[in-house]
Amino acid sequence: MTLSAAWEGTVRGAPERLKGSQAERSRRPASRRPEGALTYSAIMPNVKQVQVTFDCANPRAVAEFWKAVLGYTEPPPPPGFVSWDSFDASLPVGRQGSTWVCQDPDGLGPRLFFQRVPEAKSVKNRLHLDVRVGVGLTGDERVRALEAEAVRLEAIGARRLRLLPADGENEACLVMQDVEGNEFCLD
């Protein structure tokens, strides 16, 4: 079993694009969507899980950070292995440590997948995670909650970048970086 196959868990190939025959699909009502675009109802029966993938230099270190941030855990190791470490040790040397994963123990949040890439991070993320610790809080109470969580995360390797104060339209949020410099917000 390969590492990527082991980590895949319940993901078994690409989902079907549409249900029903061509004739059934052609009888569906027309919409303003572009030709060939899938509708929410056509896609959602096939989506079983969302996974967020991080490109990084040290997948395990970044995974350990995010496990601590979100309270995530590792899935069970593949059959025949007592741990992910023993599975990783069974791989060819060049593949060892190349991927890691963590998941919400309650199965509600997305899986996080970490893969080693040769290039270093060089620009701002085009996508980032918001860690929602201030939901329902406003003003100074919200900033105190953000600051308290920032202190906890700095102790495990996060770096504080800047506080974006409330501006009348948005509440305050705190921009941070994980252990490899990937931006995220305490929101």
pLDDT band for position 16 (cuts 50, 70, 90): very low
- Helix ranges (H only) for 54-135 are 59-70, 84-89
Instruction: In the chain, list all ranges with CATH 3.30.720.
Output: 124-187
Does residue 17 register a pLDDT over 80?
Answer: no
Alpha-carbon distance of 187 to 174, in angstroms, equals 7
pTM for this entry: 0.73
Mean pLDDT score of the chain: 83
> What's the pLDDT score for residue 13?
34
pLDDT of residue 7: 55
Q: What is the mean pLDDT of residues 92-98?
A: 94
| 99: pLDDT strictly greater than 70 | yes
- At residue 44 the predicted structure's pLDDT band, cuts being 50, 70 and 90, is low
* Residue 83 pLDDT greater than 50, yes or no: yes
| Residue 42: predicted pLDDT | 66
Q: Name the pLDDT band for 121 (thresholds 50, 70, 90).
A: confident
pLDDT of residue 125: 83
Quickly name the fold that domain 124-187 has: 3.30.720
pLDDT above 70: percentage of residues in the chain = 76
Q: Looking at residue 32, what is its pLDDT?
A: 60
pLDDT of residue 10: 32
Tokens of 117: 């890439």
User: In 3D, which of 166, 164, 59 has the Cα closest to residue 174?
Assistant: 164
Of 97, 105, 153, 99, give the one whose Cα is nearest residue 129. Answer: 153
Q: State how far the Cα of 128 lies from the Cα of 171, in Å rounded to an integer.
A: 18
CB 54 within 8 A of CB 182: yes
pLDDT at residue 43, as a whole number: 61
Share of the chain above pLDDT 90, in %: 66
Residue with tokens 């040769």: 118
- Whether pLDDT at 122 is above 90: no
Q: State the alpha helices, DSSP H only, in 15-165.
A: 22-26, 40-43, 59-70, 84-89, 139-154
Q: How confident is the model at residue 40 (pLDDT cuts 50, 70, 90)?
A: low
